[in-house]
A and B are shown apart, each in its own frame.
Chain A
Amino acid sequence: MHCREFETLSGALLEGEAHPEAYAHLASCRHCRLVLDELGAIERAARSLPLHEPSPRLWDRIEAAAVAEGLLPDPAGWGWFGMAVSWLPARPAFAGALALMLLLATGLVSYPIMDLPVAAVVPADPIEVAQSELVQEPSYDSRYRVHLDRVEERVLDESSPQEAEFRQLVARPMEVVDDAIQQTASQLDEHPDDSLAREELHRLYQQKATVLQAMAESSWYRDGR
């Protein structure tokens, strides 16, 4: 038997098939013994390869997708943002930024909420209600909006060209949120006492703040700022 013929049988030998003529060749050929040993070593090593870890935020994507599909109950804080996270591709570099983003976003949106006088939320007197809506509500919403516009402007100014890909990714969700904000704000203009619309508007502002913060943090994260 020649080495070339042995080569075609070596796979079968590793599978445990008996080929007496191949054994005879092995006894006399150092090269083929080495090849067979090495193929066997590869087979053995393949059984204990190291495990790899998925992207650290993969669970967030899975959870968001499972919630969207109704496979898991909606935990507090998910909803639109969770869906947005599940759309994003795996980007390990954003993991830290995303965690920080959530903290900062909470701070960002809680600022105007905490600043809102309690009387404007639970007014006791109908006259007070009218007054508080006239005085407080426009100022509250406009402050919110001005604040977000300022953040958006700054984020877009500061983002580097490398961020184009991320900006592209968030462009669609951002557009959806902006449209929803516009619609809800018009609804509120027509029906200023529509508390559901107001609640929805605040929720939308929060979502926008979250996306903006994600963009800002991704720049800072990458640039080491």
Chain B
Amino acid sequence: MSPKKTDGSELPESVTIRRAQQGDAEAFEDLYRRHKGRVYSLCLRMLGNAAEADDMTQEAFLQLFRKIHTFRGESAFSTWLHRLSVNVVLMHLRRKVLPQISLDETIETDEPGEGVKREPGAEDPLLVGSLDRVALDDAIEQLPPGYRLVFVLHDVEGFEHNEIAVMLGCSIGNSKSQLHKARLRLRGFLRQARRKK
């Protein structure tokens, strides 16, 4: 149940944060309710697996509970939580997945179908303007993990290449190249999906 004012309206987030910093359990639940969608979506897109995304969302909120007393309001709370969640997922990937999906491995490979194909009848601007966001979400899930990470961090979550390079331990050039290839791959998936309809 979210903390409410006496008139029934929700308390401002800053008040909820202060209460959570004082250990108020209801305030924690309220923060969870407010931010669960964003945190879970971030985890799901970075990991491509719903069960793992649940686990990492749990870990991100536990981390929030452990560290909320360090939040000083220098950045927006959502930005702070967002960064914390990204770190949780990256730590998880570093432990379990990244060794299997080396960024350098995927970045230099010119995989078949990577580049832009000239296809007969493919010159219609089907994807522009009315791009189906649900289809794009599905396409992101199909990306190889290395591409997916950079695409999600840059295009979905708005991190800069220099930040991504630090997070993933790669060069800025790698991050840019990976992103470009991810977008090309997504374009291919989206066109394919459109043709199947």
Interface size, B (range)? 35 or more
Q: A15, B176: Cβ atoms under 8 Å? A: yes
B55 to chain A, nearest CB (A): 8
Residues of A within 8 A of B45 (CB): 49
Q: Which of B4-12, B60-68, B84-92, B94-102 touches A?
A: B60-68
Distance in angstroms between the alpha carbons of A45 and B156 in the assembled complex = 9
Q: Which of B28, B36, B51, B184 contacts A89 (CB 8 A)?
A: B51
Using A4-B115, A7-B116, A52-B41 as known contacts, say yes or no to A46 and B61 having CB atoms under 8 A apart. no
Residues 24-62 of B, flagged 1 when their CB comes within 8 A of A and 0 if not, give: 010011001100111011001100001101110110011
Q: B151, A46: Cβ atoms under 8 Å? A: yes
Q: A31, B37: Cβ atoms under 8 Å? A: no
Distance in angstroms between the alpha carbons of A145 and B75 in the assembled complex = 57
B166 CB–A CB distance under 8 Å: no
Residue on A with the closest CB to B125? A34
Distance in angstroms between the alpha carbons of A48 and B133 in the assembled complex = 8
B129 CB–A CB distance under 8 Å: yes
A149 CB–B CB distance under 8 Å: no
B163 CB–A CB distance under 8 Å: no
Q: Which of B28, B62, B131, B156 contacts A41 (CB 8 A)?
A: B131
Q: B187, A38: Cβ atoms under 8 Å? A: yes
27 cross-chain CB contacts under 8 A: A4-B115, A11-B179, A31-B116, A38-B125, A38-B127, A38-B187, A41-B127, A41-B129, A41-B131, A42-B186, A45-B136, A46-B136, A46-B140, A50-B41, A50-B134, A51-B38, A52-B44, A54-B57, A58-B54, A59-B32, A62-B62, A65-B62, A71-B62, A72-B25, A72-B28, A89-B51, A90-B51
Q: B25, A42: Cβ atoms under 8 Å? A: no
Residues of B within 8 A of A59 (CB): 29, 32-33, 36
B190 CB–A CB distance under 8 Å: yes
Q: B123, A30: Cβ atoms under 8 Å? A: yes
Q: Which of B53, B118, B133 contacts A45 (CB 8 A)?
A: B133
Q: B58, A49: Cβ atoms under 8 Å? A: no
Residues of B within 8 A of A47 (CB): 155-156, 158
* Chain A at the B interface: SS class: helix
A130 CB–B CB distance under 8 Å: no
Residues of A within 8 A of B51 (CB): 89-90
Distance in angstroms between the alpha carbons of A58 and B128 in the assembled complex = 37
Distance in angstroms between the alpha carbons of A61 and B187 in the assembled complex = 38
B184 to chain A, nearest CB (A): 7
Q: B41, A38: Cβ atoms under 8 Å? A: no
Using A4-B115, A38-B128, A90-B51 as known contacts, say yes or no to A50 and B65 having CB atoms under 8 A apart. no
Q: B62, A66: Cβ atoms under 8 Å? A: yes
Q: A46, B155: Cβ atoms under 8 Å? A: yes
